Amino acid sequence: MSESSSVGVVSPKTAHFSEPLTLKSGAVLPAFDLIYENYGKLNADSSNAILVCHALSGTHHLAGKYREDDKYPGWWDNMIGPGKPLDTDRFFIIGVNNLGGCHGSTGPISTNPATNKPWGSSFPVVTVEDWVAAQARLANHLGINAFAAVMGGSLGGMQALQWTLSYPARVRHALVIAAAPNLTAQNIAFNEVARQAILTDPEFFGGDFYEHDVVPRRGLRLARMLGHITYLSDDAMGEKFGRKLKHDEVEYSFDVEFEMESYLRYQGDKFAGEFDANTYLRMTRALDYFDPALAFDGDLSAALKVAQAEFLIVSFTSDWRFSPARSREIVKALLENERRVSYAELTAQHGHDAFLMPDEHYHAVIRAYLERVG
């Protein structure tokens, strides 16, 4: 089924918003673009739309391919398509690249119309709340008053949760997967190491490396390598790589000796070649700042009082970066507010990355939940 049920060849669209957007930091974006994709058909009363929010390094390209011979489809192709858990025969599904991104929405690599140069270091720091506000503009643009569901994993799950707080009447269901109500100190620490790798790269030039025609590749590469370590579980790494050697024998050098190193270097190089350093800094900061309970003296239950949506919360047992205990905090706060909520704690060995994996039971739970979303 998964092979035959693709959304096929897709192409992105860009929406321009000329009304200024005041960000949480107080900075004002005079105008901005959002690049997005959609799959399926919007029904007559615009009630079948699902917004899928992306995580740290995700994009608006959720499913399908741009060309038949693309090597890989969109990042959540196993979840989205005709007959898949997010069934494009029933739903109108939207993916959008977040503000500050580097895949087509206005971000640090875009040209600042005031200077005619890339925004670079002057692009403001954006937050989850800002993303949701920008996504709401896109919903208006598409004529969608309320989403049937808003959904996402990791940082995407935080956006889904924020939607229910920023626009309670505009979300009927929120699917919050492998997320947390805020980051732990350990998580902020990982983000800080990743940022330091970028900030201290001599080719970063304080964020204005574009005009020097260089990319802080080493910093991005290290940041991504660190990230990858934390997205996997010890067991998953052990199973995938173990202590397997790259060559038949060790070479007593600092070249790649172990398969694990080879994988990390490959992932780091690939990422450094396609992702923007300024975007990476801002995405990790958005994670750090997300904390809806902060304005309520740390009382998450009070923070979620405004939510009206029904919720599906999903976590994965081996996810140590966004552990099940963090998802249970969200569940507890929703229970205290008597919101309709279901919570699935899925047995998985892939760590945080499990939310992207095509696990049969995981997909069955998402499918079953969405079957009841009218």
Partner 1 sequence: MSAPNFIQTATERRDFAAIARWIAPKSKVLDLGCGDGALLGYLRGSLDIMGYGIEKDDANVLACVKNGINVIQMDLEAGLSGFEAQSFDVVILSQTLQAVYHTEHIVQEMLRVGKEVIVTFPNFGYWKHRLAIVIGNMPVSRNLPYQWYDTPNVHMCTIHDFDDFCAGHSIHIRERLILTDGKPVNLLPNLLGSLAMYRFASTLA
- Least Å from the CB of residue 41 to partner 1: 20
Taking the complex as a whole, the smallest distance from the CB of residue 340 to partner 1 amounts, in Å, to 6
Candidates 319, 327, 353, 359; catalytic one: 319
Q: Answer yes or no: 154 catalytic.
A: yes
Q: Is 89 in the site for partner 1 (CB under 8 A)?
A: no
- Please, what is the Cα angle at 158 between 153 and 161, to 5 degrees? 110
Q: How many residues bind partner 1 (CB under 8 A)?
A: 23
DSSP string of 96-154?
Answer: EPPTT-SSSSSSTTSEETTTTEE-GGGSPP--HHHHHHHHHHHHHHTT-SSBSEEEEET
Write down the catalytic residue from 201, 276, 352, 353.
352
- CB of residue 52 vs partner 1: minimum separation in angstroms? 19
In 3D space, the residue among 86, 77, 91, 8 whose CA is nearest the CA of residue 46 turns out to be 91
Residue showing tokens 């995981």:
362
- Least Å distance, CB 164 to partner 1, is 16
Structure tokens at 343: 């919570």
348 binds partner 1 (CB under 8 A): no
Contacting residue, 344, 348, 354, 356, with partner 1 by CB under 8 A:
344
126 is an interface residue for partner 1 by CB under 8 A? no
Q: In the numeric block, which tokens belong to residue 222?
A: 């290290």
The yes-or-no answer on residue 235 being catalytic is: no
Backbone angles phi, psi at 346, to 5 degrees: -90, 135
Instruction: Tell me which stretch binds partner 1 (CB under 8 A): 16-24, 60-68, 262-270, 324-332.
Output: 324-332
- Catalytic residue chosen out of the listed positions 154, 166, 315, 318: 154
Q: Looking up tokens 């919570």, which residue turns up? A: 343
Instruction: For tokens 């976590």, name the residue.
Output: 315
Could you tell me if 47 and 90 are in contact, meaning their C-beta atoms sit under 8 angstroms apart?
A: no
Compute φ and ψ for 286, nearest 5 degrees: -60, -40
Structure tokens given for 77: 């192709």
Choosing from 312, 348, 354, 356, the residue that interacts with partner 1 (CB under 8 A) is 312
| 42 or 373: CB nearest partner 1 | 373
**What is the Cα–Cα distance from 96 to 35, expressed in whole angstroms?**
6
Residue 240 β-bridge partners:
none
Nearer to partner 1, 223 or 330 (CB): 330
Interface pick for partner 1 out of 341, 350, 354, 356 (rule CB under 8 A)? 341
176 binds partner 1 (CB under 8 A): no
How far apart are CB 341 and partner 1 at their closest, in Å? 6
Question: Is there binding between residue 45 and partner 1 (CB under 8 A)?
Answer: no
Using CB under 8 A, pick the residue from 218, 345, 349, 357 that binds partner 1. Answer: 345
Q: What is the distance between the alpha carbons of residues 81 and 7, in angstroms, rounded to a whole number?
A: 5
Distance CA 40, CA 81 (A): 8
Please give the structure tokens belonging to residue 341.
């909520």
The one segment of 52-60, 73-81, 133-141, 325-333 that binds partner 1 by CB under 8 A:
325-333
Among 343, 351, 352, 353, binds partner 1 (CB under 8 A): 343
| Residue 318 known to be catalytic | no
Chain-centroid distance, C-alpha 90: 24
**Residue 357: CB minimum distance to partner 1, A:** 16
Which residues are identified as catalytic?
154, 319, 352
Q: Which positions touch partner 1 (CB under 8 A)?
A: 312, 328, 331-332, 335-336, 338, 340-347, 361, 364-365, 368-369, 371-372, 374
